[in-house]
Amino acid sequence: MFDTTNYIRRHTARKVALGLAALTWSLGARTANVGPPDEPRSLYLNVEKGSNLITGLTQGNFRLHLDGKPQPFRLEKPEEPASVALLVEHSGSSGYFADDLNAALQGFLKHALEGHWYALATFSHEVEIRTDFTKQIGEITAAYSQLGTPTWSEIDTYDAVYEMLDKMGRLPGRRILVVVGSGLDTFSEHSLGQVQKKAEAENVTIFVAGLGSLFRGAYDPYLDSSARMSLVQGQAFLKMLAGKTGGFAWFPNQVNGFPDVMQGIMQSIATQYRLGYDAPPNGSGKFHTVKVEAFRMVNDKREDFKVLVREGWR
């Protein structure tokens, strides 16, 4: 389990201030019998044009809509450092993807940006925290090299993602989950729908390095319809996670593509924008849609960009 107590101690002043503010409001609300005020919220996004990430945009280059209505916002600097957790499939059933896994982890270790907090967790039947948040990338390297042979053959992806989202949702600041897995699920207690709602509720951006494309390409003639469907469903699940939260899911067809995926993830983290705005507190259970437009004017003509941003909040 993440040592969230020690981690959050680094943010003590901020937490105390927020706690006192919350207590003050709570007492005042009971006295005045008024509804809760709007709370500040952060929306993280990337802007693309083709294969290029667009940087240098200002507040005037964005428009924000909540539930289809224009929403005032502030362009703010993303929090530094970010909390980046790496969730890696590590199961006896993942042997088909061993080369993919190794290439993805090596790519991460090569391209990880200095200065952020990093954690390494693996999963099969349950999640195991191999390295709690650290700025020493070498600790991630050491933990990965000591993984050894998996004990379980289950691939309980839904439970693992749900648990990580729940843990990371308690952390302050900018939070990013990097999933390295096939998306297959064998014995999870949580359903796909429950994981989707959790992704909609927590402000965590999910990036995916998807395993299995090379395996499917090589063995597709020998797979039965059930195995093919499982692989398709696994990829669809991972794409859903990324799309819901403003990240992306890439599925390389060659082993040497995984370092490029990790490099792309790190570049996206480095170039994220942050839109701050005030909104009613979460908790109603209703899904509220988010739409962000990004553009710039060139010779009196509007040039529109693709925006990677979460689909909304629950």
Per DSSP, the residues of 83-143 read EEEEEEE--GGGGGGHHHHHHHHHHHHHHPPTTSEEEEEEESSSEEEEEEEES-HHHHHHH
Q: Express each pLDDT in 210-253 by its tens digit.
A: 997 766 666 566 667 777 778 889 999 999 999 999 999 999 98
Residue among 182, 214, 180, 215 nearest 104 (CA): 180
Number of domains present in the structure of the chain: 2
**Both 92 and 28 in a single domain?**
no
109 and 3 assigned to the same domain: no
**Among 302, 282, 296, 297, which Cα is nearest to 310's?**
282
Rg over CA atoms, the chain: 20
Predicted confidence band of residue 151 (pLDDT cuts 50, 70, 90): confident
Residue 258 shares a structural domain with residue 141: yes
> What is the share, in percent, of the chain residues with pLDDT greater than 70?
84
pLDDT at 26: 35
190 in the same domain as 248:
yes
Residue 5 CA: distances (Å) to CA of 8, 231, 254, 295 = 5, 38, 41, 41
Burial of 252-276, coded b for 16+ CB within 10 Å and e otherwise, reads: beeeebbbbbbebbbebbeebbbbe
Residues 237 and 162 both lie in one domain: yes
What's the whole-number mean pLDDT along residues 130-139? 96
* pLDDT at 82 > cutoff 90: yes
Distance in angstroms (rounded) separating the CA atoms of residues 134 and 81: 11
Do 176 and 30 have their domain in common? no
d(CA 42, CA 88): 27
The predicted pLDDT at position 261 comes to: 96
Residues 189 and 129 in one domain: yes
Q: Is position 43 within any domain?
A: no
pLDDT per residue as tens digits for the range 10-26: 444 333 333 433 333 33
Tell me the residue range of the domain where 27 lies. Answer: 1-37
Give the model's confidence band at 38: pLDDT under 50 very low, under 70 low, under 90 confident, else very high.
confident
> What SS3 state is found at 251?
coil
- Report pLDDT for 35: 47
Q: Which segments of the chain does DSSP mark as H helices, in order?
A: 4-9, 12-32, 98-111, 137-145, 157-168, 192-201, 213-219, 225-245, 258-270
Q: From CA 261, how far away is CA 267, in angstroms rounded?
A: 10
- Is 285 a residue whose pLDDT tops 90? no
Is there a domain that residue 56 lies in?
no
Residue 155 sits in a domain whose CATH number is 3.40.50.410
CA distances from 21 to 12, 37, 77, 174, 254 (A): 14, 12, 23, 21, 52
Return mean pLDDT, the chain: 87
SS3 43: strand
pLDDT category at 266 given cuts 50, 70, 90 is very high
My answer on whether 16 and 137 are in the same domain is: no
Nearest to 164 by CA among 138, 192, 129, 210: 129
The verdict on 89 and 218 lying in the same domain is: yes
Planar angle of CA 147, 150, 152, nearest 5 degrees: 145
Query: 5 with 88, same domain?
Result: no
Does any domain span residue 231?
A: yes
Domain-located, residue 281:
no
Give the β-pairing of 273-279 and 39-49: antiparallel
Mean pLDDT of 51-67: 97
173 assigned to some structural domain: yes
What per-residue confidence (pLDDT) applies to 12? Answer: 41
Residues in the chain: 314
Distance CA 244, CA 241 (A): 5
300 occurs within a structural domain: no
Query: What would the pLDDT profile of 182-197 be if each residue is shown by its tens digit?
Result: 999 999 999 999 999 9
Q: Are residues 31 and 109 in the same domain?
A: no
Residue 305 lies in a domain: no
> Which pTM was predicted?
0.86
Residue 78, SS3 per DSSP: coil
Residues 15, 142 share a domain: no
Q: Which residue has the higher pLDDT, 15 or 104?
A: 104
- Decide which of 2 and 78 is more confident: 78
- Asked if residue 102 belongs to a domain, the reply is yes
